[in-house]
Amino acid sequence: MSARSALTSTTLTLLALTLAACGPSLPKGVKADKLDQWVSDQIGDPNTCVLIGRQGSGDVVWRYNTHTACARTFPACDAPGAQSVNDLLKATAKDGRARTLSCNTTADASRGVGWASGALPRHGFVYAAVMEGQNALPGRIMAEKLDGVFKDAGL
């Protein structure tokens, strides 16, 4: 590796780390690994996604599960068409309205989806969550469980 390419590589690495440090994050004192564990204990499932974002913009500061799991779309339950959990986060960030929705995802009613969202006003955040599957929790139950998790986490 030449000195020039090593310098370029180092510069790019430092730039990436600087940008990552400037991105949105959870408030000081809220530990992401603990939040992961608590959410997993309460509503964890391979088909569950929980996002926390900034009120107003919806910029994501924390995510439970993978980008793939969180990018899936399911019936919106309160309107025609489908939505992703990020769509719900953006809507909640904009209007601050809590939502707890549930509906079937298959015609034979063997699978369902639960949606939950709401404000976390103490730090200016909102959350949105989705769970889909044969044993998906209703949105109202998800919201109750997540309210406890967020309170315990200091949100």
Question: The CATH number of the domain where 92 resides is what?
Answer: 3.40.710.10
Residue 31 covered by a domain: yes
Contacts of 109 (CB under 8 A, 6+ apart): none
Radius of gyration of the chain (CA): 18
Helical residues (DSSP H) of the chain, grouped into ranges: 3-22, 32-43, 67-71, 85-95, 139-153
Residue 14 covered by a domain: no
Q: What is the pLDDT of residue 24?
A: 62
Residue 47 covered by a domain: yes
CB 154 within 8 A of CB 32: no
Residue 15 covered by a domain: no
Residue 140 covered by a domain: yes
Domain containing 138 equals 25-153
CB 77 within 8 A of CB 103: yes
Residue 20 covered by a domain: no
Q: What is the pLDDT of residue 45?
A: 82
Give how far Cα 139 sits from Cα of 70, 78, 103, 115, Å.
16, 12, 9, 5
Query: 10-residue block means of pLDDT along the chain (155 residues)?
Result: 49 40 69 87 89 96 94 96 97 96 96 97 93 95 94 88
The secondary element (H helix, E strand) that includes residue 60 is strand 60-64
Q: What is the pLDDT of residue 43?
A: 86
Residue 53 covered by a domain: yes
Terminal Cα distance for the chain, rounded = 47
Q: What is the pLDDT of residue 103?
A: 97
Sign of CA dihedral 126, 149, 153, 21: negative
Q: What is the DSSP letter of 28?
A: T
Residue 8 covered by a domain: no
The tally of domains found in the chain comes to 1
Q: What is the pLDDT of residue 22?
A: 47
